[in-house]
């Protein structure tokens, strides 16, 4: 009997340890996923464009193709790569993270620049010269490439926020972030791309006037909803990208931007005198966003006039 009681005691201790570790995984995954918010919103805002000009019946299958590739990218390729870097080349994480932050700054600044200086988007015009199957294949390939870049940023940002050294907790937390973010992004994308169809259906088939009015409201509001999502995504990209650059420079030994932002946020919070935590965060995020915008504007000519031509020369598109 004493041996049996000891066994039960050991089982209870193991169960308690497992529960504690699961709590750690959940806490680390939540912290990491929150920091990756800028990339997540941008991913949700960017993806719906890949179904533009294609048959409505193909919208959800296309979203599923991209989502399936995104799961593979994060769980099979990027998660092991991130853990290997953390284990054997940890000094590379900060530079890689800063490269991802610079990419976010560039993307956000490019969106702001195109808002100021409008340009013609040539994407949907492809439908005039390509059949639907070929167009779908090209769109899916382009979306998967974009998703891989965004997924790499998400995994790198997430790993940098996990402050527990346990390999398995890091792996499980990253897996939780990968699964949760991908499900969230592509679930939201599926709802966005089918919202118009739902609105049209309610407008045409609704038995009640209120139902038909709801359908018309959904159809009319979707352009504004997409603009709001894109705007939030741009702001979040600049904020997160700028924050990554500032913290990266701080980690590499240049403390001035980080310290000045921290000092400015503290002074403003003291001057306001209330809701100091929110004010501090708001000032910090705003200054990080300004730095992100400036960095992105500086990077724009470098990317468009140097990196893009070199990339096109090294990796020519197949006809």
What value, to the nearest 5°, has the Cα angle with vertex 73 and ends 69 and 78? 175
At 295 the pLDDT is 94
CB atoms within 10 A of CB 138: 14
Contacting residues for 194 by C-beta, under 8 A, at least 6 apart: 59, 60
Phi, psi of 165 (to 5 degrees): -80, -10
First to last CA, the chain: 76
Phi, psi of 122 (to 5 degrees): -90, 0
Global pTM reads 0.71
At 14 the pLDDT is 44
**Mean pLDDT for each 10-residue chunk of the chain (319 residues)?**
47 45 50 54 60 69 88 90 86 85 87 79 48 76 79 78 75 83 82 80 83 86 79 81 89 91 92 85 91 93 80 59
Question: DSSP 3-state assignment of 123?
Answer: coil
At 297 the pLDDT is 94
Report d(CA 295, CA 244) in Å as an integer.
12
Report d(CA 72, CA 178) in Å as an integer.
10
Encode pLDDT of 233-275 as tens digits: 788 778 888 888 998 899 889 999 999 999 999 999 899 888 8
- Tell how many helices (H) and how many strands (E) occur in the chain: 11, 0
């Amino acid at each position: 009997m004493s041996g049996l009681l000891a066994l039960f005691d050991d089982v209870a201790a193991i169960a308690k340890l497992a529960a504690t570790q699961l709590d750690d995984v959940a806490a680390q995954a939540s912290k990491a996923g929150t920091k990756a918010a800028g990339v997540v919103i941008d991913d949700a805002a960017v993806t719906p464009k890949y179904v533009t000009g294609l048959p409505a019946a193909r919208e959800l299958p296309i979203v599923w193709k991209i989502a399936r590739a995104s799961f593979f990218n994060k769980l099979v390729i990027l998660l092991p790569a991130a853990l290997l870097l953390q284990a054997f080349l940890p000094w590379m994480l900060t530079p890689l993270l800063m490269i991802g932050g610079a990419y976010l700054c560039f993307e956000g600044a490019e969106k702001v620049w195109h808002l100021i200086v409008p340009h013609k988007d040539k994407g949907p015009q492809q439908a005039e010269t390509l059949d639907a199957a070929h167009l779908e294949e090209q769109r899916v390939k382009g979306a998967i490439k974009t998703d891989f870049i965004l997924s790499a940023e998400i995994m790198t940002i997430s790993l940098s926020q996990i402050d527990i050294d346990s390999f398995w907790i890091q792996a499980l937390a990253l897996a939780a972030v990968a699964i949760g973010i991908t499900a969230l992004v592509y679930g939201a994308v599926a709802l966005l791309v089918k919202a118009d169809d739902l609105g049209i259906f309610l407008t045409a088939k609704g038995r009640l006037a209120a139902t038909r009015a709801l359908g018309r409201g959904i159809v009319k509001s979707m352009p504004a909803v997409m603009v709001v999502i894109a705007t939030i995504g741009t702001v979040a990209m600049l904020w997160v990208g700028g924050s990554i650059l500032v913290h990266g420079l701080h980690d590499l030994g240049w403390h001035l931007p980080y310290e000045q932002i921290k000092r400015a946020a503290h002074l403003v919070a003291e001057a306001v005198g209330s809701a100091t935590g929110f004010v501090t965060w708001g000032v910090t995020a705003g200054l990080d966003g300004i730095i992100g915008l400036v960095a992105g504007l500086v990077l724009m000519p470098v990317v468009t006039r140097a990196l893009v031509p070199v990339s096109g020369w090294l990796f020519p598109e197949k006809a």
